[in-house]
Amino acid sequence: MTLSISLIVNGEQKDIALEDPRATLLDVLRDRVGLTGTKKGCDRGQCGACTVLVDGRRINSCLALAASQDGAEVTTIEGLATGDDLHPLQAAFIEADGFQCGYCTPGQIMSALGLIREGLADNDPERIREGMSGNICRCAAYQGITEAVIKGHKAMTDTGESQI
């Protein structure tokens, strides 16, 4: 049985014929839409590497069945930069060395964006650490991540981007 779903991915409509209803949003993004920036670290919602925004809120895309997301607006790491212009959070992650191997980084950045948009970052390192703790970084670039969220948040506030 084929299920037809439609996703708005980074502003573009994607009509997808799902031959297999068991496919997760993560696997559909990676294997069907071809956006492999979103990573699979655990496939069970324990590491945060697959974090994307769905309708503006951060979720673990490995825990969402694609079939249940019909009509959703999905933002992935590929949707943040405008041409060659990095999103302020992306630039801040580079500047603060908020990663090493980079595998968790797309999820970290999407989670940071969600956190800021949820109004939970509050420019407070302690709240950021707590709010980013669903995203494991085995290289343990945590200090850089926290610094990047503060810097990125500030840059977003300056340009008005942190408003929903």
Binding site for other proteins (CB under 8 A): 19-20, 22-23, 27, 30-31, 34-44, 46-47, 49, 76-78, 80-81, 86, 90-91, 93-95, 97, 99-106, 109, 125-126, 128-130, 132-147
Find the shortest distance in angstroms from Cβ 24 to other proteins.
9
CB nearer to other proteins: pick between 40 and 157: 40
Laid out side by side, the sheet with 3-9 consists of: 12-18, 3-9, 73-75, 51-54, 57-60
Asked if 7 and 69 count as a contact pair (C-beta separation under 8 A), the reply is yes
Find the shortest distance in angstroms from Cβ 154 to other proteins.
15
Phi (first) and psi of residue 62, to 5 degrees: -75, -20
Find the shortest distance in angstroms from Cβ 117 to other proteins.
18
- Provide the b/e sequence for 86-100 (b: ≥16 CB within 10 Å): ebbbbbbbeebebbe
Asked if 28 and 66 count as a contact pair (C-beta separation under 8 A), the reply is yes
Find the shortest distance in angstroms from Cβ 38 to other proteins.
7
